[in-house]
């Protein structure tokens, strides 16, 4: 097998002998090393030969004998890895091991000589080597040369790259020093900020919602100040946003017990010039929300044990070897985690979902195969007694109060009972789909109230579009209302599809205006811009949340305009603080088009009627197995599989109380778009010059149609956009039940004369 000494070719018989001897050599060597391991590391059961051999080795090498088996095993492995190569390095490796043990024994004997302790035993080899080195080089020289020999032998054995080791060590030290320097500077800046705040003696606000009654006076006020009227108090110019710690995920043992709110964190001192209009605005009290009565309902231990046993028996009846490894009771469903035995296919268990539903007498079972991060399959079985999740218990939870986001809102409770919250800023837009009566409108109400409980009207504003005229009209007249196409004194909840299209066009202009501001300020998002505005005494920007309760009706009446502007807002509006919440009860591809869906990665699917509708919303089945009344699947922007959540409930009387409370504190207020911005039409289907040419054509021909515009502008798509733009701008109108356009010539002539006057001035 290997050529050792002879250069003559071997016969097959000689080859077999050589191979046998080679195997015998390595087996004998490895056995000897393992036996050496045993007699050195095991204090007993060495046998007569082992005891004699160990005593001899220990007397010769001393305490360094305990390194001998490790070095020999390493050497054997190194030689085996080099089999078949001409130079195996056996002599070099053996010399390195001998030098290593000699140097270590010498160092141990030197330590025994200096400390007079028997723990350091260098044996005969160490005593001889250390004595010789001391005689020639002295005490210091003996230690120095012994350490040098130890390092040299380690280099021979292990082939250590000292340069690379030194470079990596220096790099680690540099990184550590840099991080320490940054932490020190940050700590100094915080100390400086605290000292400056103490010098200014500014007030610190509490993040808890203000009660309905009179607000309590701060602790540091004097009795004389407490007796003053609110108008006489020296209030700061504006209110600074609260400091909210990051969200923490809690594993609740009793998931149905309402968590008590933790002590509120202190806010940063207010900065002059920020959010000044509603500086005295009081957030609604948590007492305006009702406490849910049956929130502790759910399965008891007997029900869980019975369902667990029935599930295992059902799987066993189909000859599937599996067991229930975990049970997680929730407010609406209980999740049973089933761990299959090795060799059992997941598909064989998933295919039995209907049979298991029949055996469990359940309305519908949702199967999670497998559960992310676990080697188990989840069966979500509805509870016999359903628990209700109230909005108040979510708003009082630590997860909600400790969240830092402005647009954090309550989702409800997870399938296992833990609190679920989400942040609209990171979504950055949300699509909500569900059949009639599934809880879609209640979900929107909970989202709106959650944001109202955290922000003043100077921080967040809502653009409400409600073609059904039933769900969002509760908020008519609240100071949070916003509509860029009208002034603040005429703003209202939008119920007409044509007016909604105009508002979306105007909101696109607001987005473009903000991008120009951010470009001048050299910032990337609204949070950075507000910090820049705070430093440069500029008015800050507020967040805008667009809530559309029924997207299908808008797409039916003004699809081109609505789809185009929703697409633009969904693609670009996140950075400037504009976020969309689109809801529909008809989740079909003609309503949730590919353009809209691609720009709304975060989705909420409530109960739907078919697997097709579920795939349209969340790209997977499962929503058809929900049981309604707020039972939903939430698919976040970074999630691969949807989470099952029971949405929180809020009643109409609670909404009316909160609306009445905030209406008493003021009317809507926001800066309107300028006339120049209202006349600007770039990016809305045609340029200003195209619009003027189209209007001149309409006046000349005394009629309007898509064919007429196509003949003059050369494109069917451009003609459609210009026709939609003329309708949105109010120059033409098509009455219901008619197929003819009604043209407002007086408005067109007024616009053309105004445009001609502006051109003449230029």
Cα 130 to Cα 139: distance, rounded to the nearest angstrom: 9
In 509-589, DSSP assigns E strands to 543-548, 578-584
CA dihedral 244, 248, 254, 255 (to 10 degrees): 80
In this predicted model, what pLDDT tens digit does every residue of 607-629 receive, in sequence order?
888 888 888 888 888 888 888 88
In this predicted model, what pLDDT tens digit does every residue of 571-610 receive, in sequence order?
889 999 999 999 988 888 878 887 788 888 899 999 888 8
Same fold for the domain at 301-382 and the one at 398-496+542-663?
no
How confident is the model at residue 462, as a pLDDT?
95
Please confirm whether the linkage preceding 493 is cis (ω < 30° from 0). Answer: no
Band of residue 526 on the pLDDT scale cut at 50, 70, 90: very high
Closest Cα partner for 256 from 383, 392, 387, 412?
387
Residue ranges of domains in the chain:
12-160, 301-382, 398-496+542-663, 681-761
Cα 465 to Cα 504: distance, rounded to the nearest angstrom: 10
Band of residue 85 on the pLDDT scale cut at 50, 70, 90: low
Asked if 619 and 652 count as a contact pair (C-beta separation under 8 A), the reply is no
In this predicted model, what pLDDT tens digit does every residue of 355-387 receive, in sequence order?
888 888 877 788 888 888 788 888 888 887 788
Cα 463 to Cα 483: distance, rounded to the nearest angstrom: 6
Cα 311 to Cα 305: distance, rounded to the nearest angstrom: 10
List the single range of 56-70, 227-241, 309-323, 613-627 with lowest mean pLDDT.
227-241
How confident is the model at residue 271, as a pLDDT?
40
Cα 380 to Cα 369: distance, rounded to the nearest angstrom: 11
Closest Cα partner for 657 from 326, 302, 391?
391
- Which of residues 527 and 174 earns the better pLDDT score? 527
**Phi and psi torsions of 472, nearest 5°:** -100, 0
Band of residue 82 on the pLDDT scale cut at 50, 70, 90: low
263: its two tokens: 């002590």
How confident is the model at residue 318, as a pLDDT?
86
Cα 94 to Cα 89: distance, rounded to the nearest angstrom: 8
- Whether the pLDDT of residue 759 is over 50: the answer is yes
How confident is the model at residue 661, as a pLDDT?
92
- Whether the pLDDT of residue 507 is over 80: the answer is yes
- Whether the pLDDT of residue 96 is over 80: the answer is no
H or E stretch covering 604: strand 602-605
Q: CA distances (Å), 612 to each of 277, 369, 429, 624, 631, in order?
A: 48, 20, 22, 9, 18
- Whether the pLDDT of residue 212 is over 50: the answer is no
In this predicted model, what pLDDT tens digit does every residue of 2-49 receive, in sequence order?
343 344 444 444 444 455 666 766 677 777 777 776 666 665 656 676
Packing angle, helices 688-701 and 706-713, rounded to 10: 120
- Whether the pLDDT of residue 542 is over 90: the answer is yes
How confident is the model at residue 329, as a pLDDT?
86
List the single range of 29-43, 306-320, 464-478, 479-493 with lowest mean pLDDT.
29-43
Asked if 450 and 397 count as a contact pair (C-beta separation under 8 A), the reply is no
Q: CA distances (Å), 387 to each of 267, 295, 404, in order?
A: 36, 5, 29
What stretches of 272-342 show up as alpha helix (H) in DSSP?
301-317
Please confirm whether the linkage preceding 428 is cis (ω < 30° from 0). Answer: yes
- Whether the pLDDT of residue 190 is over 80: the answer is no
How confident is the model at residue 225, as a pLDDT?
42
In this predicted model, what pLDDT tens digit does every residue of 279-331 receive, in sequence order?
788 999 999 998 877 655 667 778 888 888 888 888 888 888 888 888 888 88
Cα 476 to Cα 461: distance, rounded to the nearest angstrom: 13
Give me the residue label for tokens 């109409």.
Answer: 652
* Ramachandran area for residue 275 (φ above 0: left; ψ -120 to 50: alpha; else beta): left
In this predicted model, what pLDDT tens digit does every residue of 704-747 receive, in sequence order?
888 888 888 877 767 877 887 888 788 888 776 677 888 888 88
How confident is the model at residue 677, as a pLDDT?
45
H or E stretch covering 334: strand 333-340
- Whether the pLDDT of residue 544 is over 90: the answer is yes
Asked if 386 and 332 count as a contact pair (C-beta separation under 8 A), the reply is yes
681-761: in CATH 3.40.50.720: no
pLDDT average, residue stretch 226-244: 39
Closest Cα partner for 196 from 265, 303, 140, 268?
268
Indicate the DSSP class of residue 494: B
125: its two tokens: 């080899």
List the single range of 63-67, 147-151, 460-464 with lowest mean pLDDT.
63-67
Long-range contacts, stretch 18-26, CB < 8 angstroms, 24+ apart? 26/76, 26/80
Rounded (to 5) percent helix, strand, coil in the chain: 50, 10, 40
Beta-bridge mates of residue 432: 583, 604
- Which 3 state secondary structure label does DSSP give 487? coil
How confident is the model at residue 234, as a pLDDT?
39
In this predicted model, what pLDDT tens digit does every residue of 662-711 receive, in sequence order?
999 888 988 877 544 444 443 344 456 788 888 888 888 888 888 888 88
Fold of the domain spanning 301-382: 3.30.980
How confident is the model at residue 216, as a pLDDT?
40
- Which of residues 473 and 272 earns the better pLDDT score? 473
List the single range of 55-64, 148-157, 258-267, 554-563 with lowest mean pLDDT.
258-267
240: its two tokens: 């600074």
447: its two tokens: 């989202």
How confident is the model at residue 211, as a pLDDT?
35
Cα 233 to Cα 733: distance, rounded to the nearest angstrom: 55
pTM over 0.85: no
Asked if 414 and 420 count as a contact pair (C-beta separation under 8 A), the reply is yes
- Whether the pLDDT of residue 219 is over 70: the answer is no
The average confidence (pLDDT) of the chain is 76
Asked if 611 and 624 count as a contact pair (C-beta separation under 8 A), the reply is yes
Asked if 68 and 94 count as a contact pair (C-beta separation under 8 A), the reply is no
CATH of domain 398-496+542-663: 3.40.50.300
> Exposure string (b/e) for 657-683, b if CB count within 10 Å is 16 or more?
bbbebbeebeebbbebbeeeeeeebee
In 424-577, DSSP assigns E strands to 430-433, 460-465, 543-548
How confident is the model at residue 130, as a pLDDT?
77
H or E stretch covering 742: strand 742-743
């Amino acid at each position: 097998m290997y050529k050792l000494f002879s250069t003559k070719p071997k016969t097959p018989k000689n080859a077999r002998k050589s191979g046998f001897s080679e195997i015998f050599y390595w087996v004998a060597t490895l056995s000897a090393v393992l036996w050496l391991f045993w007699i050195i590391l095991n204090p007993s059961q060495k046998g007569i030969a082992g005891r004699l051999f160990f005593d001899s080795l220990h007397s010769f090498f001393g305490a360094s004998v305990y390194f001998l088996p490790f070095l020999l095993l390493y050497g054997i492995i190194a030689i085996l890895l080099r089999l078949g190569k001409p130079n195996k390095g056996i002599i070099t490796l053996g010399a390195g091991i001998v030098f290593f043990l000699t140097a270590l024994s010498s160092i141990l004997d030197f330590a025994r000589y200096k400390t007079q302790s028997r723990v350091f035993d260098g044996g005969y080899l160490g005593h001889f080597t250390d004595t010789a080195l001391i005689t020639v080089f002295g005490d210091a020289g003996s230690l120095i040369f012994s350490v040098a020999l130890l390092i040299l032998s380690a280099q021979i054995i292990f082939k250590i790259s000292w340069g690379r080791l030194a470079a990596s060590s220096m790099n680690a030290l540099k990184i550590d020093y840099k991080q320490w320097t940054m932490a020190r500077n940050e700590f100094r800046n915080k100390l400086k900020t605290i000292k400056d705040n103490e010098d200014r003696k500014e007030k610190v606000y509490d993040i808890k919602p203000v009660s309905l009654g009179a607000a309590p006076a701060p602790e540091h006020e004097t009795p004389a100040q407490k007796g003053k009227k609110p108008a006489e108090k020296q209030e700061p110019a504006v209110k600074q946003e609260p400091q909210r710690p990051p969200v923490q995920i809690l594993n609740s043992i009793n998931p149905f017990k309402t968590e008590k709110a933790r002590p509120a964190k202190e806010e940063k001192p207010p900065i002059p010039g920020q959010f000044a209009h509603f500086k005295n605005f009081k957030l609604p009290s948590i007492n305006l929300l009702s406490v849910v009565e049956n929130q502790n309902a759910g399965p008891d231990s007997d029900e869980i044990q019975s369902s667990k046993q029935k599930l295992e028996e059902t799987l066993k009846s189909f000859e599937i070897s599996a067991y229930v490894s975990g049970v997680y009771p929730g407010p609406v469903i209980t999740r049973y985690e089933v761990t299959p035995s090795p060799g059992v296919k997941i598909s064989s268990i998933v295919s039995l979902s209907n049979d298991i539903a029949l055996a469990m007498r359940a309305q519908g079972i949702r199967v999670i195969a497998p559960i992310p991060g676990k080697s188990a399959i989840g069966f979500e079985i509805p509870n016999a007694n359903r628990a209700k999740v109230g909005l108040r218990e979510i708003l009082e939870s630590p997860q909600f109060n400790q969240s830092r986001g402005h647009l954090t809102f309550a989702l409800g409770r997870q399938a296992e009972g833990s609190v679920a919250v989400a942040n609209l800023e990171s979504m950055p837009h949300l699509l909500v789909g569900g059949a009639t009566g599934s809880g879609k409108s209640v979900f929107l109400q909970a989202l709106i109230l959650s944001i109202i409980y955290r922000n003043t009207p100077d921080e967040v504003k809502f653009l409400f579009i409600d073609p059904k005229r039933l769900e969002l009209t509760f908020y008519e007249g609240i100071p949070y209302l916003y509509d860029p196409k009208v002034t603040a004194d005429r703003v209202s909840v939008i119920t007409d599809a044509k007016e909604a299209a105009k508002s979306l066009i105007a909101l696109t202009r607001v987005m473009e205006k903000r991008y120009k501001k951010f470009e001048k300020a050299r910032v990337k998002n609204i949070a950075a811009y507000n910090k820049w505005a705070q430093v440069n005494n500029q008015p800050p920007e507020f967040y805008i949340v667009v809530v559309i309760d029924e997207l299908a009706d808008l797409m039916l009446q003004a699809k081109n305009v609505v789809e185009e502007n929703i697409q633009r807002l969904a693609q670009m509006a996140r950075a400037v603080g504009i976020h969309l919440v689109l809801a529909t009860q008809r989740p079909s591809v003609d309503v949730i088009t590919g353009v809209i869906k691609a720009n709304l990665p975060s989705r909420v699917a409530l109960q739907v009627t078919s697997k097709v509708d579920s795939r349209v919303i969340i790209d997977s089945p499962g929503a058809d197995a929900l049981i309604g009344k707020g039972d939903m699947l939430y698919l976040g922007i970074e999630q691969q599989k949807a989470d099952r959540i029971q949405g929180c409930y809020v009643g109409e009387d609670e909404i009316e109380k909160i609306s009445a409370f905030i209406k008493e504190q003021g009317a809507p207020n926001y800066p309107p778009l300028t006339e120049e911005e209202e006349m600007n039409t770039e990016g809305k289907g045609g340029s200003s010059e195209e619009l003027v040419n189209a209007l001149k054509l309409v006046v000349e021909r005394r009629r309007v149609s898509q064919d007429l515009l196509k003949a003059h502008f050369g494109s069917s798509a451009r003609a459609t956009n210009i026709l939609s733009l003329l309708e949105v701008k109010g120059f033409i109108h098509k009455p219901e039940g008619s197929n003819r356009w009604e043209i407002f010539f007086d408005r067109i002539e007024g616009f053309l004369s105004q445009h001609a006057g502006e051109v003449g001035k230029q």
